[in-house]
Structure 1
Amino acid sequence: MNIGAKIYFDKSTGDVIENTGERTGGVVETTREQDFEAYTSLSKRVPETVGMIQLEYGAYEKDYDAGGRITRVDLETLKPLFTYPDPAK
C-alpha cells in the first residue's frame, strides 16, 4: 500500500505544523485523532485550529527532487507552498 503525505497546518497562517511524509509497504492509513496522539507537534495544539491536506502518493516528486520542502499551505487554494535551497550556497 502507498500512502501520500498528510500536511497539517495552522488554519490562521498556513504554516506547516507537521508533514507525515509518504509511506509505502505494510502501512495503514491513520486517522486525524491517531496523528494528534502520535505527533508531539500536533498534541500541543487545539485540534480546531489545525487544518490538513492529504497529498497523493508521489505528488510533487519534482519539487522534492529539487530539494523543495513544504513550509506553508495556501489558505485559499489549499495547495502546498514549497521553499527551495539557495543554489548559491
Structure 2
Amino acid sequence: MAIIKPFVAARRFSTTAGDGTGTGATFNILATATTNDAGVAATAFPVPTYYNLYINAQIQTSDTSTLTTAAITIPDGDTLDDATPIIIEIVVT
C-alpha cells in the first residue's frame, strides 16, 4: 500500500502593533492591515488548521489571541509599542 502524505503548508503575515485598532480585550489587527509572504497586502486570513503568533519575534501561548479569517484579536495588544513587529503564521492543510 502506498503512503499518501497529507498536504501541509504555512502562510505568514506581518504587521506592527500600530496597525491594530481597539483597546483592551477588543484590540485587533485586521487581515487587510497585514502583508503576506509575497509582500502584498492581504485580503483575508486562510482558515487555519492551527496558527502561531509571534510578538517581537517571541512565540506566544495559545491563550494570547484568537483568529478569524478577518482579524486577529490580541487582548491588551494596545499596550504594545506601535513599532512592535507582529507575525502570524497560519498552517493550512
TM-score by length of 2: 0.27
- TM-score after normalising by structure 1: 0.27
Structure whose residues are more often strand by fraction: 2
Question: Which structure would you say has the larger RCO, counting Cα contacts within 8 Å and 6 or more residues apart?
Answer: 2
Give the structure with the larger helix fraction: 1
